Amino acid sequence: MDRRLFLSLGSAWAASMMSGCGGGGSDGADGISDSSATGAQRMQALAASPVNPKARVIVVGGGMAGATFAKYMRLWGDMVEVTLVDRSSVYTSNIMSSMVLTGQRTLASLNYTYTTLISKYGIKTEFGEVKAIDPVTATVTMASGKVLTADRVVLAPGVEFDPVLGLTDPLQMPHAWKAGPQTTALASQLSAMKAGGTVVLTIPKAPYRCPPGPYERACLLADWLKARKKGSKIIVLDANPDILVEKDNFSSAFLGLHGSVLEYHNNVEIDHVDAATRTLYFVGGGSLSANVVNLIPRQRAVALMQATGLANATEGRFAAVNVLDYSSTAAPTKVHVLGDASATTQPKAGHIANQEAKVCADALTRIFAGGSPDPAPATNSSCFSTITMKQASWLHSFFQYDPVTGTMKGVPAGSGASAGWDSDGFQDMGIWFKALMGDSFA
């Protein structure tokens, strides 16, 4: 099967069926069945890293973008060695993590390992802290002193969060926008809050990871408060001028369904905080105190990217890239940047990260073979939002490369959103999530 068609299909359901993650029986974009002799031989060859590789690639970051890239670079690339670098041998999904706050999921249920990527695709791994990245020589230096060398470095490290003045211990006002200890801390604070309390959720200025995420979390918590903390309310402070995505659905939920417990305020930016009293002070004056504060700060590419000059877009926050191959405009011959750390016209979301990874893997496969990237890549993304603890809305977006602007442009005919929310959407969300994570982590 042509990789370009595979990329354009984009949906997690199609991806799972074609990559063998949903138990469909075919493996990869070429449609080779595992039950065939050829397929078995191919997978046996993939299971071992090449002894004499034609090219070497280091992937820094093992989240949605990094794991997907590593898999498809080995699947599509001819004798390409791939080394995946991450500080941890376990990835915890940010997607669905808000449901940990309401007790509908455990954090452990969102954990994914690299076992299959290693055993089935022959991906090498290096777990530990990265100390330095050299975009000129394509080397990665670990905190242990070990130096990794390659022909290309693919960076998919996710985001870091701006410091908040007055907040020395983030667990006092956890953002829980990176699943882990902060998710657990926020869940504990919400559980311990007495009925009749006040929760504040802040939304940072765009761009940030998962555009509908804060609005979705606000709805989910509002529904939970009505059921578990009678008389409580949630106040949403949005630094943006208006609801950024799914405005019809979220406006309807905020004003109608959850109007009795939810207040929404736009153009409210946090200046500093008093963590001891859980008080937020606003730019331009004003303050607000609450029992629980879910403070989501502004986001940016990781410090290593800032230090090496790769964060050269969006006020120096993210990396400008050529979306034909996701090469960094600051180091186009050696470094590629995927996912939330890159600056593109596509949303910072897990499904888009999965798509960008496939475009990049396809491009490098062509480049290593002496060719050029696909001149017309397409991506798409599905997203579900929990409006209640049992109902969800959905949003679907399609993007096509525009040679005039050099960007990925949204295609209205291939995009759309649900008119409201229902239990079917909630069930579809579970199917979508399982397929997406199966595709990314093999």
Tally the residues of the chain: 442
Q: Per-residue pLDDT tens for 268-317?
A: 999 999 999 999 999 999 999 999 999 999 999 999 999 999 999 999 99
Can you identify the CATH homologous superfamily of domain 3-159+301-375?
FAD/NAD(P)-binding domain (3.50.50.60)
The percent of residues in the chain predicted with pLDDT above 70, rounded, is 90
- Is residue 100 within 8 Å of residue 183, measured between CB atoms? yes
Contacts of 163 by beta carbon, 8 Å cutoff, 6+ apart: 297
Structure tokens at 43: 């997978």
Asked if residue 2 has pLDDT above 70, the reply is no
Alpha-carbon distance of 8 to 16, in angstroms, equals 14
| Pairing, β 378-386 against β 392-402 | antiparallel
Q: Long-range contacts: 74-77, Cβ < 8 Å, 24+?
A: 74/46, 74/121, 74/122, 74/123, 75/27, 75/28, 75/29, 75/46, 75/121, 75/361, 76/3, 76/28, 76/29, 76/361, 76/362, 76/365, 77/361, 77/364, 77/365, 77/368
pTM for this one?
A: 0.92
Q: 162-297: same fold as 3-159+301-375?
A: yes
The percent of residues in the chain predicted with pLDDT above 90, rounded, is 88
Q: Poorest-confidence range of 1-5, 273-277, 372-376, 399-403? A: 1-5
Positive or negative: CA dihedral 360, 362, 368, 371 = negative
Mean pLDDT confidence for 159-169: 98
Work out the pLDDT band at 38, boundaries 50, 70, 90.
Answer: low
Q: Which residue has the higher pLDDT, 38 or 289?
A: 289
Asked if residue 36 has pLDDT above 90, the reply is no
Element (H, E) at 200: strand 198-203
Domain boundaries, the chain: 3-159+301-375, 162-297
Work out the pLDDT band at 45, boundaries 50, 70, 90.
Answer: confident
Structure tokens at 263: 């207040």
- Is residue 110 within 8 Å of residue 92, measured between CB atoms? yes
pLDDT attached to residue 256: 98
Alpha-carbon distance of 208 to 380, in angstroms, equals 18
pLDDT attached to residue 41: 64
Asked if residue 319 has pLDDT above 90, the reply is yes
Side-by-side strand order, sheet with 270-274: 270-274, 279-282, 287-289
Distances (CA, A) of 385 to 124, 214, 218, 417: 35, 10, 10, 11
Asked if residue 8 has pLDDT above 50, the reply is no
Instruction: Give the three-state DSSP class for 431.
Output: helix
Q: Chain centroid to CA 184: how far?
A: 19
Work out the pLDDT band at 42, boundaries 50, 70, 90.
Answer: low
* Type of residue at 88: S
Alpha-carbon distance of 232 to 238, in angstroms, equals 20
Note the helical H segments in 29-159. Answer: 37-46, 64-76, 98-101, 115-121
Work out the pLDDT band at 47, boundaries 50, 70, 90.
Answer: confident
Structure tokens at 28: 């990869």
Alpha-carbon distance of 254 to 260, in angstroms, equals 9
Contacts of 198 by beta carbon, 8 Å cutoff, 6+ apart: 232, 233, 234, 235, 289, 290, 291, 292
Mean pLDDT confidence for 360-377: 98
pLDDT attached to residue 438: 98
pLDDT attached to residue 40: 64
Mean pLDDT confidence for 421-428: 98
Note the CATH architecture for domain 162-297: 3-Layer(bba) Sandwich (3.50)
Alpha-carbon distance of 336 to 328, in angstroms, equals 5
Alpha-carbon distance of 39 to 32, in angstroms, equals 5
* Burial zone of 237 (CB within 10 Å; 0-12 exposed, 13-18 middle, 19+ buried): buried
Alpha-carbon distance of 151 to 130, in angstroms, equals 18
